[in-house]
Chain A
Amino acid sequence: NAGVTQTPKFQVLKTGQSMTLQCAQDMNHNSMYWYRQDPGMGLRLIYYSASEGTTDKGEVPNGYNVSRLNKREFSLRLESAAPSQTSVYFCASRDRAGAGTEAFFGQGTRLTVV
């Protein structure tokens, strides 16, 4: 009963380094999301994938890329990390977008860019 699994849990990067945050869900959900959480702000959508094979930009996509590798996996890539990308990142999934379905969240990745 893993639900949504994110890796890594913690990461420190130097400015300009790249990294990929991994997310996998085992609930056969169609829709997957990447959010960032910053102090004093609500969760903000970076990218989402409404279904396998599609991805769309959210509110704050600049500096990020995503890949919906298959139905289970949705990765988030930082090509050249910047201090402004220091944040807690959450992956989420739900059965389908555009409907009243429950969302399931991963445990978060705490990223610090120095």
Chain B
Amino acid sequence: KNEVEQSPQNLTAQEGEFITINCSYSVGISALHWLQQHPGGGIVSLFMLSSGKKKHGRLIATINIQEKHSSLHITASHPRDSAVYICAVGFRNQFYFGTGTSLTVIP
């Protein structure tokens, strides 16, 4: 059972490209989270959202509650954006995680 599905699994982009990562979920949620994990590193929360859109620097996250879908956009991608991006949904006492999207940005 996969409550959270992400796509694509892997993504390679040229520096400067606009990137979109998608997340679909099947449970009713209290909030959706986008997380970032650098190779060998810890996990950092990028966004938490329950409606609409949030922006932080070059990162934009949107959510459509009716369609149970969220997107993470990166504008003007940079090699330092190379990381795994994980979608997670909060439901009752727990989180459910996607398997992550591995992004590589080539200079």
- On whether the beta carbons of B41 and A107 are closer than 8 Å, the reply is yes
**Residue B11, interface by CB 8 Å:** no
Among listed A17-25, A39-47, A60-68, A70-78, interface-contacting one: A39-47
Name the interface size band of chain A. 20 to 34
**Residue B66, interface by CB 8 Å:** no
A-B contacts counted at CB < 8 A amount to 64
Question: Closest residue of chain B to A59, judged by CB?
Answer: B94
| Set of chain B residues within 8 Å of A34, measured between Cβ atoms | none
> Which residues of chain A have a CB within 8 Å of any CB of chain B?
31, 33, 35, 40-45, 48, 50, 56, 58, 90, 92, 97-108
> Which residues of chain B have a CB within 8 Å of any CB of chain A?
4, 30-31, 33, 35, 41-45, 48, 50, 86, 88, 90, 92-100
Known pairs A92-B95, A107-B42 / 19 extra A-B pairs, C-beta < 8 Å:
A35-B97, A40-B99, A41-B99, A42-B99, A42-B100, A45-B94, A45-B95, A48-B93, A90-B42, A97-B92, A97-B94, A99-B30, A100-B30, A100-B48, A100-B50, A102-B45, A105-B45, A108-B41, A108-B43
